[in-house]
Amino acid sequence: MNFALSLKEAKFVEINDCGHIPHEEKPEEFLRVLQEFLGL
């Protein structure tokens, strides 16, 4: 989270009950966050 605080436009997103590979553990939620980031 400290890295996100150091970037002016950063947004920290936590996916509950997820470990180190969110795209495999919670693919739907990961994709939703990614699409929001990309403006899709």
What's 35's DSSP letter?
A: H
**Segment 1-40, tens digit of pLDDT:** 677 777 777 888 999 999 999 999 999 999 999 999 899 9
| pLDDT value of position 1 | 60
Q: Where are the domains of the chain?
A: 2-38
DSSP the chain: -HHHHHSTT------TT--S-HHHHSHHHHHHHHHHHHT-
- C-alpha distances in angstroms, 32 versus 2, 6, 8, 20? 23, 24, 22, 17
